[in-house]
Amino acid sequence: MLICPSMLSADSSRYGEELADAEKAGADAIHWDIADGVFTDAITFGHQIVKDHRKLSSLRFDVHLMIENPDKHLENFARAGADVIIVHPETCKHLHRTLLNIKSLGLKSGAALNPATPVAAVEYCVDILDTVTVMSVNPGASGREFIDSQLKKISELKKMLPPSTEICADGGITDLTIKECAKRGANSFVSGSYIFRNPNRSDAVRRLREACG
Ligand code: ZN
């Protein structure tokens, strides 16, 4: 079970300390939500911020690109220190080729499914996907409510994907929702507000781990 705090919910005036705090609390990976203000309403981070924080942590860096034309930015994020790059099928004209491009940079490849996007969007890419993310909220902002209908999607992916492929739930993860996601086969969890809005991050991470057993 991987617990991946999203920096989107961290205090933006002190990202370095927030990252160190998440690492100390027992996080398995750091999740960077990159939003361009086109595919999503908000604008968040560019590759430079990922690069500057790379030297502060040895944790896995997951870069979740919620941006149009992600191919244009893959090399920059690879050079910035990403270990995993996750793209949305809706933003890729040629998803299969984009996933191969990510892998050719030596990184793990991921696809994220928006709440309205069916598992069929990645069905013919399962052999080149290291992780599939179920967006349990609509993308682009932190603190949104978990969408229950996405639990069924996790079950569908569990049936469709090889056992080694990571299944990640991203958004609205709490000690209650994580249990439901884990029960259906998710083994990686992106949590923003639940961790960063808790003054005791170790306690938040421990509660999440305990809840998913
Ligand atoms: Zn994300």
Domains and CATH numbers, the chain: 2-212 (3.20.20.70)
Q: What's the confidence (pLDDT) of residue 139?
A: 81
Single-letter code of the amino acid located at 199:
P
Enumerate the β-bridge partners of residue 36: 43
Residues catalogued as catalytic? 33, 170
- Distance from the alpha carbon of residue 21 to the mean position of ligand 1, in angstroms: 19
CA distances (Å), 121 to each of 28, 45, 48, 57, 107, in order? 28, 26, 31, 34, 21
- Distance from the alpha carbon of residue 156 to the mean position of ligand 1, in angstroms: 20
- Distance from the alpha carbon of residue 31 to the mean position of ligand 1, in angstroms: 6
CA distance 62 to 50: 10
Residue 8: burial class (beta carbons within 10 Å; 0-12, 13-18, 19+) = buried
Single-letter code of the amino acid located at 39:
F
Low-confidence ranges of the chain (pLDDT < 50): none
- Distance from the alpha carbon of residue 136 to the mean position of ligand 1, in angstroms: 10
- Distance from the alpha carbon of residue 124 to the mean position of ligand 1, in angstroms: 23
Q: What's the confidence (pLDDT) of residue 141?
A: 67
